[in-house]
Amino acid sequence: MLNRDWLTRLRLRWGVHPLGRKEQGNREGILTLPLPSRLHVPMLQHTGQPAKPRVTVGQRVRKGEMIAARQGNISAPVHAPTSGTVIAIGDYPAPHPSGLPVLTVSIDCDGLEEWVDLDPPSDPFALAPEALAAKVAEAGIVGLGGATFPSAVKMALGLRTQVRTLLVNGSECEPYLSCDDRLMRERAAAIVDGMNLIRHAVGAETILCGIEDNKPEALAAMREAAAPFPHIALRRLPTRYPMGSDRQLIQVLTGREVPSDGRSADVGVLVHNVATCYAVHEALRYGRPLISRIVTVAGGAVRAPRNVEALIGTPARYLVEQCGGLSGESARLVMGGPMMGLELASLDVPVIKGSSGILALDASELPSATPSPCIRCGQCVTACPMNLMPFEMSARIRTGALDEAVGMGLKDCLTCGACSYVCPAHIPLSHYFNYARGELTRRERNTLRQESIRKLVAERSERLERDAREKAEAAARRKAERERAKAEADAARAAKAAAKAAEESSA
Amino acid sequence: MVAVLSLTGLGLLLGLGLGVAAKFLRVEQEDGRIAEVEALLPGSQCGQCGFPGCAPAAAALVAGAAPVTLCPPGGRDLVEKLAALLGVEADTAGMAETVPMLAIIEETQCIGCTKCFKVCPTDAVIGATRQVHNVLREACTGCGKCVDVCPTLAISLEPVPATLQSWTWHKPPRELPVLNAPLSTAGASC
């Protein structure tokens, strides 16, 4: 085993080793938070289309009741995290660096925690794989590692492409975060059951679970829980960032590389996070939808950092208050991990399905230096897990040559931030890549919009032409009618005159 | 002698052929470029460039009678594309970053005169006589034609509001060269 680790370390030429600081939060057990007075449940907590509210203001909802249905193929429903009354459906600040509002259902909790009638299958293993995926979709489960991709869609894809191996991601490579660590230590049996259920739902043969070697207790707990199942193998991974990225995890665990334009299913594997496995277990064994998650509350400005189990929609401020509150001023608030998490403008935003952590960092935990010019040292190239050249790409993006940056592999970038972390010149490399990708999407959207507008213009000119033509035709018709009437009148007059003349002549 | 004559004759014949072909080809080329430029332009015929529509503007661009920066709705992207296509240098540094605009009708001032929806090139304004008009966001290009004809100044152009789906990261500020940077700022990281 030791030999294997040593080989892996030698083989992997990417990644960085940020200071873990996981001991801040992983010493104490998971604290189930007391019920807050009000919850704000956003309709967009997943990748894809937002969910559509199915409740009205003033309506009473029970815990676990579906309050919003999914829209489109890639979407997930949202459930009431507790029983209470819907007091508002409208815009509320999203947990996002932009601070923009998102459609949110606000619920006043009544404190009764009254569940809807749960209907768990008596034996989920007796159900067809498709039926299991449908139940997972109904439960609103999304990837809890941070990507928040609807799990049922992924499971259906795995079944369709006949994956052989289910990879379970327990690496938790982001510094500070220890929610998966505590979950594995305390609820290993449930996670293992969830793994087996997903294995059944995707028709995989073996399960490979990777856990970084900075979590020995979690690894031991999982080994014990998985001992009765010969098809589950647990692997100790070297601690390195970004080990938790699916492409890197697949590379380390299976030795296979996912093609640049492909998905993990193309190499016969499917990756799910340990927390997702736990949510699947809850949904299929007890019928409970995804209404809560484990969140790491940490950072130098938090008095008593620890992991809490919070209902979706709980204000971040409430979480921090329950962990002793802030000691002095926090220099930066982050949702998620410090490497890839999103900066928050304030704590008055709700916890969502993808919130693995709420961090209140103090000034000593932030980089203090200002950016200086690139010295082309190449450290970012060594650190890049996708073998890209971040310094070359950022130079092109700075001058606006986005197409050249795309040619150098911008679309393969994970925006993991390893390059920004090692850069001795403190250049915000991954910020450049985030900007460039946003800009490219914007341009794509613009092109589509221009096409639709061109169509509108063409339709309008066609309509105007048709109108003019019809008007001209109508005018011509009227003119012809007038002339005919005139000719008829003339003819009648002439006939009359002729008759008169004839009368006169005969007389 | 025969060889000299035949080669001279051949040269003259081919030269004539080339001359004729060049005349035809030049016309083809010119047309093709106008069509290409027109495809790049927004196509809303808004007239902000001073030409009656996008096709005359494209013709003027190809003829070199108009600068590549003529189209306000196209923004910086369009200027770069046009400059690349026409092979001219474009000075985009002075150009302000344009934001997409949207026409907004102030309901309390609208008298339902229908003037605005008669001029809208994309049929983005809906309404009827003596009914309050409104703007379809998806169809509005922000060309401003309706603003000019509104008799009660009820229409204004506003930037398209950002949503979570349309929001993107801003460009990082350009890093400045640091001269004699104090040592204490180097090497500090999180």
Task: Clarify whether residues B106 and B69 are in a common domain.
Answer: no
Q: Domain for residue B71, yes or no?
A: yes
Name the residue type at position A144: L
CA distance between the termini of chain A: 138
Task: Clarify whether residues B75 and B114 are in a common domain.
Answer: no
Q: Domain for residue B5, yes or no?
A: no
CA distance A413 to A405: 11
CATH code assigned at B81: 1.10.15.40
* Cβ(A279)–Cβ(A198) below 8 Å: no
Which has more confidence, B33 or A7? B33
Q: Domain for residue B13, yes or no?
A: no
> Is residue B161 reached through a cis peptide bond, with omega within 30 degrees of 0 on the bond before it?
no
| Interchain CB contact of A507 with B (< 8 Å) | no
- Out of A100, A439, A454, the one facing B167 most closely (by C-beta) is A100
| Count of domains observed in chain B | 2
Locate all alpha helices (DSSP H) within A139-212, ordered by sequence.
151-160, 179-186, 188-202
CA distance A14 to A354: 26
CA distance A104 to A68: 10
Q: What digits encode the pLDDT tens for the residues A56-70?
A: 999 999 999 999 999
> Once rounded to an integer, what is the mean pLDDT over residues A156-179?
93
Q: What digits encode the pLDDT tens for the residues A116-135?
A: 999 899 999 999 999 999 99
pLDDT value at A253 more than 60: yes
Domain hosting B128: range is 101-159
Which has more confidence, A473 or B189? A473
Residue A453 with chain B: CB contacts under 8 Å: 42-44, 122, 139, 141
Task: Clarify whether residues B60 and B108 are in a common domain.
Answer: no
CA distance A236 to A494: 114
Residue A434 with chain B: CB contacts under 8 Å: 169
Q: Which residues pair with A169 in a beta bridge?
A: A210, A273
Q: Domain for residue B19, yes or no?
A: no
Task: Clarify whether residues B120 and B155 are in a common domain.
Answer: yes
> What is this model's ipTM?
0.77
Residue B44 with chain A: CB contacts under 8 Å: 453-454, 457
CA distance A173 to A171: 5
Q: Domain for residue B47, yes or no?
A: yes
Q: What digits encode the pLDDT tens for the residues B154-189?
A: 999 988 888 888 888 888 887 655 444 444 444 333
- Out of A366, A435, A454, the one facing B190 most closely (by C-beta) is A366
| Interchain CB contact of A438 with B (< 8 Å) | yes
CA distance A445 to A473: 42
Task: Clarify whether residues B106 and B149 are in a common domain.
Answer: yes
pLDDT value at A4 more than 90: no
CA distance B61 to B72: 14
Q: Domain for residue B180, yes or no?
A: no
Work out the number of other CB atoms within 10 angstroms of the CB of residue A443. 12
Whole-number CA gyration radius for chain A: 32
Q: Are B166 and A427 within 8 A, CB to CB?
A: no
Which has more confidence, A24 or A58? A58
Average pLDDT, chain A: 92
**β-strand pairing of A292-298 with A357-361:** parallel
The residue ranges of DSSP E strands in A243-373, in sequence order, are 269-273, 292-298, 306-311, 332-335, 342-344, 357-361
CA distance A252 to A248: 6
Instruction: State residue B12's pLDDT score.
Output: 96
CATH code assigned at B124: 3.30.70.20
- How far is CA B127 from each of CA B29, B111, B144, B166, rounded to the nearest angstrom? 45, 11, 18, 28
Instruction: State residue A357's pLDDT score.
Output: 95
CA distance B158 to chain A (A): 18
Q: Domain for residue B190, yes or no?
A: no
The pair of structure tokens assigned to A74 is 């890639």
CA distance B18 to chain A (A): 38
| Interchain CB contact of A447 with B (< 8 Å) | no
**A263: which DSSP letter?**
-
Work out the number of other CB atoms within 10 angstroms of the CB of residue B125. 23
Work out the number of other CB atoms within 10 angstroms of the CB of residue B24. 9
Work out the number of other CB atoms within 10 angstroms of the CB of residue B12. 10
**B113: which DSSP letter?**
-
**A24: which DSSP letter?**
G
Q: Are B185 and A369 within 8 A, CB to CB?
A: yes
Task: Clarify whether residues B73 and B121 are in a common domain.
Answer: no
- Out of B124, B164, B177, the one facing A373 most closely (by C-beta) is B177
Q: Domain for residue B65, yes or no?
A: yes
Task: Clarify whether residues B154 and B105 are in a common domain.
Answer: yes
Residue A445: closest C-alpha in chain B: B166
Residue A100 with chain B: CB contacts under 8 Å: 162-164, 167
Task: Clarify whether residues B69 and B113 are in a common domain.
Answer: no
- How far is CA A216 from each of CA A219, A250, A265, A297, A396, rounded to the nearest angstrom? 5, 21, 30, 21, 43
